Structure 1
Amino acid sequence: MLKALASLFLLLGSCVTHPGRPKQDAATFADLERYVNDVMKCRDVKGLSLTLVKKDGSVYTKGFGLRDITTNAPLTETTLLNIGSESKAFTATLAADAVARKLVTWDEPLKNIFPAGFRLQDQFRSERASLRDLLSHRLGMPSYWGLSTAVMNLTLVDIAERLKDFPVRYEFRQRFLYSNYLFVVAGAALENATGETWEDGVYNRIYKPLNMTGSRVSTTLTAADWSNTAYSYTVINSTAVQNPEKALMPIVREINPAAGVYTNAVDMTKWMKFHISGGKDSAGRQVITKSVLKETHDASMTMGLGGIHRDTFPVDNLSFDYGLGWMKGIYNGYVKTFHTGEYSSYSATLTFLPDVGVGVWVGITGSRNGEGETVRDVITMYALDVLLGETPWLNSTTGCTYPAPWDPPKQPRPRRNAYEDATATDDPADISEYVGDYIHPAFGTFRVFQDGGQLKYSFGVLLRGDLNLKSGDQFYQTLDFPLTFRIVGYPEYPKGFPLSFSRDDQGTVSSIRIPYLEFNKPPVFSRSSSQ
Structure 2
Amino acid sequence: MIGGYGMASTADDLAKYLRFVLRGGVLEDGETVHVNRDLIEDALSPQMFYPNPYGGFTVVDGYSMRPAAPFTSHTYAYGLASWHRYYRGFQLVQHTGSHFSDTLMTYHPDLKIGIYAGLNGPYERVSWAVETIVHEYILDILLDLPNYLNQTTVCSFPAPWGEPVDIPTFTAILEDVASTLPLEEYTSVFGRAAFGCMHMTLNRTDDDTEVLQFSMSEARMFAYPKEGQAHEFWLKGVDDMYHLWYTGPYSIRFTESNGLINELIYQGLEFERMPDDSERLCSFYLTGQQDAD
TM-score category by the smaller chain?
0.5 to 0.7
Aligned 8 A contact 2:47 2:79 in 1? yes
Partner of residue 336 from structure 1, selected from 92, 96, 115? 92
- Partner of 1:440 in structure 2? 190
Q: Does 1:481 align with 2:228?
A: no
Aligned residues: 255
**Cα drift, residue 352 of structure 1:** 1.1
- Partner of 2:211 in structure 1? 456
- Partner of 1:503 in structure 2? 257
Distance 1:449 1:500, change over 3 A: farther
Distance 1:280 1:330, change over 3 A: same
Task: Give the counterpart letter for 2:74 in structure 1.
Answer: L
Distance 1:294 1:434, change over 3 A: closer
Task: Give the counterpart letter for 1:525 in structure 2.
Answer: R
Map 1:179-194 onto structure 2 (within 5 A).
180=4
**Which ranges of structure 2 fall in alignment gaps of 5 or more residues?**
54-59, 280-293
Aligned 8 A contact 2:185 2:261 in 1? no
**Cα drift, residue 486 of structure 1:** 1.4
- Partner of 1:352 in structure 2? 108
- Larger C-alpha radius of gyration, 1 or 2? 1
Aligned 8 A contact 1:348 1:364 in 2? yes
Cα deviation code 1:21-77 (max 9, x no counterpart) = xxxxxxxxxxxxxxxxxxxxxxxxxxxxxxxxxxxxxxxxxxxxxxxxxxxxxxxxx
- Partner of 1:6 in structure 2? none
Greater strand fraction, Structure 1 or Structure 2 = 2
Cα deviation code 1:71-101 (max 9, x no counterpart) = xxxxxxxxxxxxx7xxxxxxxxxxxxxxxxx
Aligned 8 A contact 1:502 1:511 in 2? yes
Cα deviation code 1:339-388 (max 9, x no counterpart) = 3345754412223161xx25241322424752532332122111222222
Aligned 8 A contact 1:336 1:353 in 2? yes
Q: Hey, what's the Cα distance between the residues in 1 that align with 2:237 and 2:95? A: 32
Greater helix fraction, Structure 1 or Structure 2 = 1
Partner of residue 157 from structure 2, selected from 402, 405, 409? 402
Question: Could you say what secondary structure the match of 1:458 adopts?
Answer: strand
Map 1:375-394 onto structure 2 (within 5 A).
375-394=130-149
Q: Hey, what's the Cα distance between the residues in 2 that align with 1:527 and 1:283? A: 49
**Cα drift, residue 408 of structure 1:** 0.6
**RMSD (Å), alpha carbons:** 4.9
Q: Hey, what's the Cα distance between the residues in 2 that align with 1:404 and 1:440? A: 45
Distance 1:439 1:406, change over 3 A: same
Partner of residue 118 from structure 2, selected from 364, 378, 391? 364
Q: Does 1:274 align with 2:23?
A: yes
Distance 1:407 1:435, change over 3 A: same
Question: Could you say what secondary structure the match of 1:502 adopts?
Answer: strand
Question: Could you say what secondary structure the match of 2:139 adopts?
Answer: helix
Q: Which has the higher contact order (CA 8 A, sep 6+)?
A: 1
- Partner of 1:304 in structure 2? 51
**Cα drift, residue 438 of structure 1:** 3.6
- Partner of 1:246 in structure 2? none
Q: Give the share of equivalent positions with the same residue, in percent.
A: 14
Map 1:186-265 onto structure 2 (within 5 A).
259=7, 262=10, 264=12
Distance 1:340 1:485, change over 3 A: closer
Q: Hey, what's the Cα distance between the residues in 1 that align with 2:179 and 2:98? A: 41
- Partner of 2:74 in structure 1? 318
Q: Hey, what's the Cα distance between the residues in 1 that align with 2:137 and 2:198? A: 46
